[in-house]
Structure 1
Amino acid sequence: MVVRGSGSIGRRHARVFRQVGADVSLWPVRDRGLANGAADDATGARLLDDSTGPASLRDAFVVVATDTSRHVGDALEALDAGAEMVLVEKPVAPTAAAAHALDEHPRRSAVWVAAPLRAHEGFRHLRRLVGRLDRGGAAHVRSQSWLPDWRPDRDYRESYSARPDEGGVLRDLVHEIDYATVLFGQPALVGASMVTGGPLDIEAEQGATLLWGSGLFDVTTRLDYVTRPTTRGVVVTSPDGILEWDVVRATVRHTTPGGERTEQVFDHDLDRDIVMGTQARAALALRPSSPLDERIARGAPATFADGIAAVRLCDEARAFGTRGPAAISSPENPA
């Protein structure tokens, strides 16, 4: 298999796929001054360069872990070269429109989109509990943290997260929208607001609040870069009790209508390599066309259609939040 991109997430993919038994080559975007075929010190993967990388894509499982602006182009290159399967890091594209060429590709069904929260044991347990809430309810999804803490050794203002065309919380934290769709059904956006000012000196949005209807559930989502300490998870309220998934603590709590509480801890969810290993094994063993329940049970990534749907909701929220409700139903953004 080939991992395209050797930043922090590309190297993690290379290391994790090696841990689950894959033969991994790492193809950096930028010349790192190392000999072709040498072993990468951090991952042990063989290094490719631009002279050997393109030919290595044929019949390979390819991970695209480059900058967001390159995702579509790098995925198309892999598919056109004959890659067997492609796993694209989130988000699949900066906007849904930017993914048009990939959406039209005859082999788009061979594309996975990274969604490691689906590989959490806590998420899979929560999904089973939500499935028992026949009368629906309300949910509040949150992912709130402090951007400078993400990569303490790097100026956050120079990261892709700070760029208005590649970063911002809607793209960076699109996982929350993805997993909420799995739990509650396809969303219909009702309202959104963006926070473009705040304590961070960046052009991208620092916070976003979304409200949507989704089947039997009303869902609010808060995403931001400006909260300390980190809080991440979901609270579901219903006539049949309250469910709480705390991603940071790796717990799922169930409170019955009578007030009885049970809490389960999923320690493995606290180890990012274990979670990504679950996703990696599922991506290698299954296909995006495999039955949904099997994909969810094994912690597989999102499909390309799932990835585009999440990005499209982000596009709608950004339009709603910056220009008001009319932006969503304008000729440029038909409802």
Structure 2
Amino acid sequence: MSSLPTSAPRVVVRGSGSIGQRHARVFRQEGADVSLWPVRDRHLAPDAVDEATGAHLLGDAAGPESLRDSFVVVATDTARHVADAIEALDAGAEKVLVEKPVAPTAEDARALLEHPRHTAVWVAAPLRAHEAFRHLRRLVGRLERGGSAHVWSQSWLPDWRPDRDYRESYSARADEGGVLRDLVHEIDYATVLFGEPALLGAGVATGGPLDIAAEQAATLLWTAGSFAVTTRLDYITRPATRGVVVHSPDGILEWDVARATVRHTTPDGDVTEQVFEHDLDRDIVMGTQARAAMTLRPTDPADERVARGAPATLAEGIAAVRLCDEARVSADARSSTTNRTDTEDGT
């Protein structure tokens, strides 16, 4: 637990699903006075408490007025993120942390970006709060001649929430879910590691073993500074695997997220591997993000924000979504060209 000011900061978590409850629990562990405001009004008594998290429960009558001067976490469905964040800003929230992705598309986030107080908005990016990631960033910074990188997050969607039909989750919806939105963290942290991306091409698969409308897999290729980056995101792999490998004339770097290890192979073949055990505890990682979000501002210097495991800024969150939008456009154009060629060939 961190040492916060003697007057506990007030945090309001909008949305009481699994991620909202985790935020509520983590912010309480960090010493905050937390209230949980469910999307569905339950006509709650003034002294109601959420049994799972110990947070105060708010109904729709008390919810809006509680936003003023609070740190607000928006953990509602993706389609609501922008509207809920704007409501918090308009009500006088000190800062707002929006769950990923910030919006279904970059265009959908325009109203939030144009808000007079948009610089008070964070976008959740807990992979930045991993100790292993911050160590990896330092190592990447020492690579003098660039190289190539492969970033991936591959898992089996039905395993995400075994107690719930995955086909009824937001992940399955074409307008809110899909791997590009769900796994946008990979695009975000790759941008931190390698620089601003320029998409070269993408393939997106909506078909596959899962009975869902959203895309089940995506493969992207882009350049960023002196690096060429490939990314594979999918819901159709078992067992789950997640990480990045960087190849360069100055050696090889590997981050295995599931094992919380960073492996460094020098040009001479010497290997060093470090284990970051705290990264295996999701609450510890999210606690790092929570502390940084409460004590820093999105306008603080980028190096300080990244070094302390802060979330993404609003502009960074939108940039990651924009690359996803471009990937869909690229994949659609490629599909249309293929279909047109097949038709012309008579196949």
Q: TM-score range by the shorter chain?
A: over 0.9
* Secondary structure of the structure 2 residue equivalent to 1:11: helix
Match of 1:3 in 2: 13
Contact 1:141 1:180 in 2 (8 A): yes
The yes-or-no answer on 1:12 pairing with 2:39 is no
Match of 1:154 among 164, 167, 177: 164
Aligned CA-pair RMSD: 1.2
Match of 2:213 in 1: 203
Match of 1:45 in 2: 55
Q: Deviations over 1:25-62 (max 9, x none)?
A: 00000134643331100000000010000000011100
Note the 1:1-335 alignment, pairs <5 A. 1-32=11-42, 34-324=44-334
Contact 2:12 2:66 in 1 (8 A): yes
Match of 1:333 in 2: none
Contact 2:204 2:215 in 1 (8 A): yes
Distance 2:280 2:267 in 1: 30
Distance 2:154 2:89 in 1: 35
Contact 1:124 1:296 in 2 (8 A): yes
Q: Which amino acid aligns with 1:258?
A: D
Stretches of structure 1 that go unaligned for 5 or more consecutive residues are 328-335
Given the two structures, how large is their TM-score scaled by the length of structure 2? 0.93
Which range moved further: 36-45 or 128-137?
Answer: 36-45
Distance 2:166 2:257 in 1: 23
Stretches of structure 2 that go unaligned for 5 or more consecutive residues are 1-10, 338-347
Q: Which amino acid aligns with 1:322?
A: D
Which range moved further: 93-102 or 35-44?
Answer: 35-44
Aligned residues: 327
Given the two structures, how large is their TM-score scaled by the length of structure 1? 0.96
Moved over 4 A (4+): none
Distance 2:47 2:308 in 1: 33
* Secondary structure of the structure 2 residue equivalent to 1:199: coil
Contact 1:191 1:325 in 2 (8 A): no
Check 1:186–1:325 CA distance in 2 against 1; reply closer, same or farther (3 A cut). farther
Distance 2:126 2:87 in 1: 24
Q: Which amino acid aligns with 1:29?
A: V
Distance 2:34 2:250 in 1: 47
Distance 1:181 1:50 in 2: 39
Distance 2:174 2:14 in 1: 24
Distance 1:270 1:156 in 2: 24
Q: Which amino acid aligns with 1:257?
A: P
Aligned-pair distance for 1:324? 2.6
* Secondary structure of the structure 2 residue equivalent to 1:200: coil
